[in-house]
Structures are given as structure tokens and as C-alpha cells.
């Protein structure tokens, strides 16, 4: 006999993500899921954000990588609470990994939790982790055609950061074409050009974060 | 590579639904997979063969309905297939749209077999 099921294949992940969210809400911790391809500047963005916001609020970080503690070491060197997740080959963080990581963080002292996902524009878009906002770091050398190539990622996020704009004079990247592409599939996302190297645009980024933290939870 | 996690989700749901229905074997699993999810059907089939081994869903047929990516124009309300039109509205040429389909990852139904009487189907 045929049995109607109609269940989301990732429902189990989504249930754990909802539990993570309840835990974070209870400690008044606002969380960002930071996604990007490898080398786009996720860690640089997180380190720059720490520098600019640490005087104003408690910051914490979860680092996701296939292996190594390179990123967590860089965060820990700044005296910021951090947990490194090594996925051991898995190409994305899932809600269960985050649940384990959260138990190792002093959430009551953390108002802003930044989660650096595994460098990948495909799989991380699929798995919610209980975050308040999803953020994508795209970078100038990757090219302006990325929205068309990875549409799921670009439709999922609340903000698209265009990093490495200091390289615009040297790299073929049409800012207008990129913006049109993002807008065509995601009209609500904020688009923020910046450079973690020169600091240009970082005020806009931290302004966005503070504004989202003050606004209604999604 | 997220196909392994996706396939594990499919197997868990199928076995859970089988138990609820009081059946003994899963004959077929009907899936809806959105074009945009990037889930590769061949990978799901491969992983399913591996992880379903020794379970009541071993040898179950996977029936996949691919859901095309579609969008609704924010300006004129036209709904269109992204595969045919890109992200630009074919009616008014506006380049602002909302996604209406293509992110599905759903187990729609399963065929439950009781193990002794072969396949039965509801009308």
C-alpha cells in the first residue's frame, strides 16, 4: 500500500537547529552563519568584526573546517571564546555539530556569535544551524558571475558582502552586473562592498550587524 | 557531498513511516527534489544502496520527481521557469523575482509491503 509521508528530508536537522535557536535566544545571543567559498575572507571578516565590536559587546566564534585549528588559533589569540569544529571531511556544518559546540561556549557572556562555515558555496546553504542571519562573503577575484552559478546560496542569505574591493583596479569584476544578478534572485538581501585589508566598508558591515541585532528576530 | 546527509534523512523517514504503517518492507520511496538544491540523484542512489543494506528499505526503488526552479516576478506577478528564462521576467523584463519552487527536499510517499502478500496499493 502507498503511504503519504510528506516530510522534509532535512527536518531532523531543522529540529535540532530550532533547539539551538531556543538556547541562543535564552541567553540573548545573536548568531550569524558566515558562508563563502574557500579564501573569500570569512576569517578576515570575523577578525575585523571582533576588532571593531569587542569594546561594545561580548563576541564569540565557532570555527568550522574540514581539518586544522588555524582559524580558531587566530581567534583565540585575540582572547575571544572560540570552539573549533573539525568536520573530518564533511563539506558543511550541521545543526548537531553546532549543538555540541554551543555547550563549550560561555553563551551568557556572548551577545554576538559568529559561526564560520566550511568554505563551500553549495552544501552549507542547505543546512540551517539555528542562526539569526545568514551572511555570504563573496570576493572580487571570484568573479561577478557567482550568483548565477550558485543560486541556492545567493537566495538563502540576508546579506551579501563583496570582499576585497581594494583589488577592483586589478581584477575583472563588474560591480553593477554582480549587484543586478544578486537582486534578480534575492531582492531582500543587503549588499555591502568592503575590504578587510583596507577597512573600507567595514563600518557599513558592523552597522548592519548592530541594526539587525536591534531589530526583530527572524 | 551533502548527498550522504540527505540520503540518511530519506532512509530515516522511510523506516519511520514504515514502522508507523505497521509494514515489513519498503517497496518504493517517492521523492521530490528541487532542481536548485544541487542534490545529485545518482549520488543519492549510490549512497542509498550502501546505507539501506540490511534494513527493511534495502532494494527499495527510489522514484525521483525533479522540481524545476521557478520564480514569480515582483513587478507583474508572472510565474516563470528559471531554466528557460534566467532570472529575468519573460513578460515585463523585470529582474526582481521571488523564488517559488526548486528548493524542495521531500519524501512524498512510500510504498509499504507487508512482506508476505507482495505489493498492495490503495486506489
Confirm or reject contact between A188 and chain B (CB < 8 A).
no
Give the burial string for B13-43 (b: 16+ CB within 10 Å, else e): bbbebbeebebebbbbbbbbbbbbbbbeeee
Q: What is residue B120's predicted lDDT score, i.e. its pLDDT?
A: 46
Q: What is residue A1's predicted lDDT score, i.e. its pLDDT?
A: 92
**Least confidently predicted of A2-6, A200-204, B26-30, B119-123:** B119-123
Tell me whether residues B112 and A2 touch, CB distance under 8 A.
yes
Pairwise CA distance, residues A75 & B85, whole Å: 45
Pairwise CA distance, residues A150 & A133, whole Å: 19
Residue A92 has pLDDT above 50, yes or no: yes
The domain that holds B28 is classified in CATH as: 3.30.2320.50
Residue B116 has pLDDT above 70, yes or no: no
* B51 HSE (CA, 13 A, CB side): 18
Tell me whether residues B12 and A12 touch, CB distance under 8 A.
yes
Give the DSSP letter string of A94-136.
-HHHHHHHHTTS-GGG-SEEEEE--S-SSGGGG---S-SEEEE
Mean pLDDT of the residues in chain B: 91
Q: What grid cell was written down for A70?
A: 588555524
CA dist A56 → A182, A210, B87 (Å):
32, 10, 41
Q: What is residue A29's predicted lDDT score, i.e. its pLDDT?
A: 98
Q: pLDDT band for position B117 (50/70/90)? A: very low
Q: At what angle do helices A95-102 and A11-26 cross, to 10 degrees?
A: 30
Q: What is residue A90's predicted lDDT score, i.e. its pLDDT?
A: 86
Q: What grid cell was written down for A116?
A: 564560520
B46 found inside a domain:
yes
**Pick from A92, A148, A151: which is nearest to B36 by CB?**
A151
- Report the C-alpha dihedral over residues B38, B43, B49, B55, rounded to 10 degrees: -30
Tell me whether residues B71 and A122 touch, CB distance under 8 A.
no
Q: What is residue B1's predicted lDDT score, i.e. its pLDDT?
A: 65
Pairwise CA distance, residues A58 & A214, whole Å: 15
B29 found inside a domain:
yes
Q: Which residues of chain B have a Cβ shorter than 8 Å from any chain A Cβ?
A: 1-2, 5-6, 9-10, 12-14, 17, 20-21, 23, 31, 36-38, 69, 71, 74, 82, 86-88, 95-99, 103, 105-112, 120-122
Residue B113 has pLDDT above 60, yes or no: yes
Cα end-to-end span (Å), chain B: 38
Pairwise CA distance, residues B46 & B27, whole Å: 17
Higher pLDDT residue, B108 or A88? Answer: B108
Q: What is residue B97's predicted lDDT score, i.e. its pLDDT?
A: 86
Range of the domain at B108: 3-68+102-113
Tell me whether residues A8 and B111 touch, CB distance under 8 A.
no
- Whole-number percent of chain A with pLDDT over 70: 99
Pairwise CA distance, residues A111 & A15, whole Å: 23
Tell me whether residues A184 and B122 touch, CB distance under 8 A.
no
* A135 HSE (CA, 13 A, CB side): 28
Pairwise CA distance, residues A49 & A54, whole Å: 8
When divided into structural domains, chain B yields a total of 1
B95 found inside a domain:
no
For residues A186-197, give the mean pLDDT.
96
Judge whether B89 and B76 are in contact, CB under 8 Å: yes
For residues A178-182, give the mean pLDDT.
95
B39 found inside a domain:
yes
B85 found inside a domain:
no
Residue B121 has pLDDT above 60, yes or no: no
Judge whether B73 and B47 are in contact, CB under 8 Å: no
B84 found inside a domain:
no
Pairwise CA distance, residues A32 & A30, whole Å: 7
Chain A residues with CB inside 8 Å of B12's CB?
12
Residue A199 has pLDDT above 80, yes or no: yes
Q: What grid cell was written down for A184?
A: 534578480
Q: What is residue B84's predicted lDDT score, i.e. its pLDDT?
A: 84
Scanning every residue of chain A, which has its alpha carbon at the shortest distance from the alpha carbon of B95? A184
- State the DSSP code for B95: -
Residue A158 has pLDDT above 90, yes or no: yes
* Sheet with B97-101: strands ordered across: B79-81, B70-73, B97-101
B20 found inside a domain:
yes
- Whole-number percent of chain B with pLDDT over 70: 92
Distance of alpha carbon A202 from its chain centroid, rounded? 15
Residue A12 has pLDDT above 50, yes or no: yes
Q: pLDDT band for position A63 (50/70/90)? A: very high
Distance from CA of B92 to the nearest CA of A (A): 13
B87 found inside a domain:
no
Place of cell 518492507: B25
Domains of chain A: residue spans and CATH: 11-211 (3.40.50.300)
Q: pLDDT band for position B115 (50/70/90)? A: low
Residue A193 has pLDDT above 50, yes or no: yes
Q: What is the ipTM of this complex?
A: 0.82
Q: pLDDT band for position B123 (50/70/90)? A: very low
Encode pLDDT of B30-86 as tens digits: 999 999 998 999 999 999 999 999 999 999 999 999 999 999 999 999 999 998 888
Q: What is residue A218's predicted lDDT score, i.e. its pLDDT?
A: 63
Pairwise CA distance, residues A41 & A46, whole Å: 9
Residue B12 has pLDDT above 60, yes or no: yes
Chain A residues with CB inside 8 Å of B36's CB?
151-152, 155
Judge whether A115 and A98 are in contact, CB under 8 Å: yes
**Least confidently predicted of A95-99, B34-38, B112-116:** B112-116
Amino acid at each position: 500500500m502507498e503511504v503519504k509521508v510528506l516530510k522534509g528530508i532535512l527536518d531532523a536537522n531543522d529540529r535540532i537547529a530550532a533547539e539551538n535557536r531556543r538556547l541562543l535566544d535564552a541567553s540573548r545571543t545573536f548568531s550569524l552563519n558566515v558562508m563563502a567559498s574557500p579564501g573569500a575572507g570569512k576569517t578576515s571578516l570575523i577578525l575585523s568584526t571582533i576588532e571593531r565590536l569587542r569594546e561594545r559587546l561580548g563576541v564569540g566564534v565557532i570555527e568550522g573546517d574540514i581539518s586544522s585549528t588555524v582559524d580558531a588559533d587566530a581567534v583565540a589569540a585575540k582572547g575571544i571564546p572560540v570552539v573549533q569544529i573539525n568536520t573530518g571531511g564533511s563539506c558543511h556544518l550541521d545543526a548537531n555539530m553546532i549543538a555540541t559546540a554551543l555547550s563549550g561556549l560561555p553563551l551568557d557572556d556572548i551577545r554576538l556569535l559568529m559561526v564560520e562555515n566550511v568554505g563551500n558555496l553549495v552544501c552549507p546553504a542547505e543546512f540551517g544551524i539555528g542562526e539569526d542571519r545568514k551572511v555570504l562573503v563573496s570576493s572580487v577575484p571570484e568573479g561577478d558571475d557567482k550568483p548565477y552559478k550558485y543560486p541556492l546560496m545567493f537566495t538563502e542569505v540576508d546579506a551579501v558582502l563583496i570582499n576585497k574591493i581594494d583589488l577592483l583596479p586589478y581584477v575583472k569584476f563588474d560591480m553593477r552586473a554582480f549587484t543586478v544578478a544578486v537582486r534578480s534572485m534575492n531582492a531582500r538581501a543587503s549588499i555591502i562592498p568592503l575590504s578587510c585589508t583596507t577597512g573600507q566598508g567595514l563600518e557599513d558591515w558592523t552597522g548592519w550587524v548592530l541594526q539587525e541585532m536591534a531589530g526583530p528576530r527572524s | 557531498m551533502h548527498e550522504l546527509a540527505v540520503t540518511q534523512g530519506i532512509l530515516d523517514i522511510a523506516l519511520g513511516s514504515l514502522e508507523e504503517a505497521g509494514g515489513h518492507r519498503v517497496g518504493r520511496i517517492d521523492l521530490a527534489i528541487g532542481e536548485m538544491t544541487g542534490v545529485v540523484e545518482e549520488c543519492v542512489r549510490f549512497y542509498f544502496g550502501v546505507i539501506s543494506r540490511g534494513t527493511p528499505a534495502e532494494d527499495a526503488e527510489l522514484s525521483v520527481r525533479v522540481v524545476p526552479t521557478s520564480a514569480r516576478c515582483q513587478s507583474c506577478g508572472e510565474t516563470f521557469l528559471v531554466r528557460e528564462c534566467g532570472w529575468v521576467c519573460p513578460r515585463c523584463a523585470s529582474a526582481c523575482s521571488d523564488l517559488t519552487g526548486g528548493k524542495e527536499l521531500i519524501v512524498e510517499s512510500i510504498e509499504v509491503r507487508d512482506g508476505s502478500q507482495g505489493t498492495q496499493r490503495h486506489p
